[in-house]
Structure 1
Amino acid sequence: MKALRLSPSSRRHERSAGSAGSSLFSLNHQLCLELDLCVHSPPPSPQPLTDVSMIVTLKALPLTDSCACQRIGQWLGHHDSAKECSTCDLEEEISELSAPTSLLVVRGALGKGDFEAAMQLAATLLQAGADPDETDPEGRTLLSHSVQHLDDSAALTRLLLNSGASVWHRGGTGVPDHSPFTWLLRALILRRRFENCDLTLEMLARVMGERPAQMKAHVLRVMFRHARCPKVLGPIFKRIKEVVSVYWTNAPSLQYSCLSAIRRRLAGRTAHGVPLLGLPPSLKRSLLMQDLF
């Protein structure tokens, strides 16, 4: 998606909000102003949207968001009862710093179960420079939300991993563990069965396996903290350990070591860098974890 260029009306809002407010523009607010859908502006005559990425972005926005909700909902032809906006100044946005911005808007599509739209929206935002490790107010990244949906969201999980999203716990001591593996394990515990998770678990294991000692310590610590009801959860934990322990009990193969070295050198640019390396198709598929699908 092309970078948003603020329309005259949005530039007036930016000047009135000051430098502090302009840096806190949410994606919803930018889209609302860019399309001149602000409730303080005259409603535009309906124009067809031809930019597919823009349509996906708009459809992923919740209708209850301040300012953007009513006009964007009308633009998309939604007739749901949305919260009426009485103002669109940025004071409310500045006071509500917990509102999701940037890549975190993808959570809306995940919550609705629209995994294809979530993947397309994330790809658009990542291409525009979004941070794959941005955290929400709870300290969770989008990857932790994606793996919680197991293999239903495997395409988004793969995209985030290929874009450099971290698989490790990013908080300090005393901070709740929000690592992707933790949320994958919690999702399986809630289901009380090991199913619909093979792709997600293998992708996480491949990336975590690049640091086998750290992987072993993290996996065993998380499983120990969630060890309850052995008769019910025992088979789940056993199956998980069978899959992931391979990466710290066996010496890595030469192919895995080479692929890991390439991924490290690409430093989070795997999705964009691999096609430029001139490698055989089979190696490209392995680097991008497409061989699992």
Structure 2
Amino acid sequence: MNGNAERWSDLGTRLGSGAAMVAIGIAGIWFGGHVFHGLVAVICGLMVWELVRMLSPDQPSLALQLGGVSAFAVLLATYLPPLYAVPLLAAAVLVGLGRVKRYAPVYLVFSGLLLLAGWGMAHVRDDLGFGWMVWLVLVVVVTDVAGYFAGRMIGGPKFWPAVSPKKTWAGTSAGWVAAALVGLGFGIGSGALGALVLASVLLSFASQLGDIAESAIKRKVGVKDSSTLIPGHGGLLDRFDGMLGAALALLVLEVAFGFPWSVL
């Protein structure tokens, strides 16, 4: 009985914080434009701040500096074409390469992917439209929610215990099924139903890989959460790691396979 109560002890806090994040996210997506650009830039800057704090906890001022530089770079990049946006984001990452004393390769790769994903999310809202942005968010959200409940209710074998000890095969599979249902709902009546269901599952898996990558960094540096900014959830990296993975996967689908298809 005590074990079961402990398993769900953080649910109320998680739901409250989650509701606040959903409200802010919906408002940002709805308004789009400058509002969404600013929201994405702030989130990316805070995530870089969290990343540097984890990798080099003895350099708090550097974490603030790189977080600010990253936020500004993402904000400016949202108004530039890819030819200029991508080099700008790369330059923002390189600013900290020689200054992060510990785990510099981890900083280089993860911060680079983080800023690219942030720019990618702004691109989805600006160029692909409101519908595709909602689809992307729903795929990530249902993957996380289904995985959380299935993992805690069913349990069973761990997906990758050495890196993410809480993630189970039951939760992982439930996330794929939930994402497929989102793709089904968005694709009904279109000629790309099967492709959209498959794309939803692929983005679901990419979001899980984003979560695993962030978990690997935390285990490497010996921290439980990236920060304490969000009660019940840890930090922004803990909450948005899945979105980063999914946004990057969506960019790959767009470049390699001509996404989006005629659905929304």
TM-score tier after normalising by the smaller chain length: under 0.3
Q: What is the TM-score when the length of structure 1 is the normalising length?
A: 0.23
Q: Which has the greater radius of gyration?
A: 1
TM-score by length of 2: 0.25
The higher-RCO structure (CA 8 Å, 6+ apart) is 2
